[in-house]
């Protein structure tokens, strides 16, 4: 069985408070985008997972990979799940705030549920996904969602950006998520992102913010320049996505990414689906 885990962007990302469990409460809107990895699973005559990958190099051990964690998480409750052989072709930029690893883990849960007829509904799969990571449940639902809490409180949002183009710019700079959270100042008085995105997109620039940008820009001024360059190219809205170093610009017409390509940045031109 083959599935295609997709990336996401964040439309606004506010940190509203620090929780007693060590996590942070968020206010953000997740928007899935058609940029894909490829995940294949076949049954294998063993009692464990055999994992291999291609494409972009995946750091860490197999045990740290969210696909393997998803397999062991489900197998612990459903011991009838047999051994499997997994091939992951990695295309989504990693460590860039686009949710590629989280998508792989969530799609593994959905794939195992379907392939081995576990009978899990979306709510139960979202609960398993939350055990993998705060932004994993969104990929079970995989539609525009206003998200609060640590990522588990989701509200479907009617938002269609299919009339626009998105230019994703990934400079290959690794931003530590732990450091990003450590340096941000929570603010519970913000206007919810779900209210702002109901207004015309031309108004988002001065109202829809990613709280990580301020501190990340201090450490990596080149990232601030990427955002400025996207606006200079005609983006109606531009932002860093997640806590990583990837940026997106939303354009009314087809953008020319040549200036970024000349700097060696990875580019992906996205046409959002309706």
Catalytic residues: 8, 135
d(CA 192, CA 12): 9
* Token pair listed for 173: 């700079």
Query: How distant, in Å, are the alpha carbons of 6, 80, 126 from that of 122?
Result: 17, 21, 6
Strand partners, 2: 40
Q: How much of the chain is in helix, strand and coil states, percent to nearest 5?
A: 30, 30, 40
d(CA 146, CA 25): 13
Structure tokens at 174: 């690794």
Structure-block tokens of residue 190: 């913000």
């Amino acid at each position: 069985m083959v599935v295609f885990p997709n990336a996401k962007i964040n439309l606004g990302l506010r940190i509203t408070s620090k929780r007693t469990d060590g996590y942070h409460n968020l206010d953000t809107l997740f928007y899935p985008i058609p940029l894909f990895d490829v995940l294949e699973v076949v049954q294998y005559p063993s009692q464990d997972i055999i994992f291999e990958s291609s494409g972009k190099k995946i750091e860490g051990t197999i045990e740290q990979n969210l696909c393997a964690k998803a397999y062991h998480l489900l197998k612990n409750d459903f011991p009838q799940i047999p051994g499997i052989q997994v091939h992951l072709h990695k295309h989504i930029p990693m460590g860039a705030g686009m949710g590629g690893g989280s998508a792989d883990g969530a799609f593994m849960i959905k794939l195992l549920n379907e392939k081995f007829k576990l009978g899990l509904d979306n709510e139960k799969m979202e609960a398993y996904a939350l055990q993998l990571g705060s932004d994993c449940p969104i990929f079970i639902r995989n539609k525009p969602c206003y998200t609060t809490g640590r990522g588990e409180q989701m509200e479907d949002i009617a938002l269609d950006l299919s009339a626009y183009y998105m230019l994703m710019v990934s400079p290959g700079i690794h931003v530590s998520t732990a450091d990003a959270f450590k340096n941000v100042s929570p603010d519970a008085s913000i206007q919810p992102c779900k209210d702002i995105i109901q207004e015309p997109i031309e108004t988002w620039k001065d109202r829809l913010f990613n709280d990580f940008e301020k501190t990340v820009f201090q450490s990596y001024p080149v990232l601030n320049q990427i955002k400025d360059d996207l606006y200079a190219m005609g983006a109606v809205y531009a932002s860093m996505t997640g806590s990583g170093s990837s940026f997106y610009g939303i354009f009314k017409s087809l953008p020319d990414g040549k200036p970024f390509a000349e700097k060696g940045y990875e580019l992906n031109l996205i046409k959002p689906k309706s």
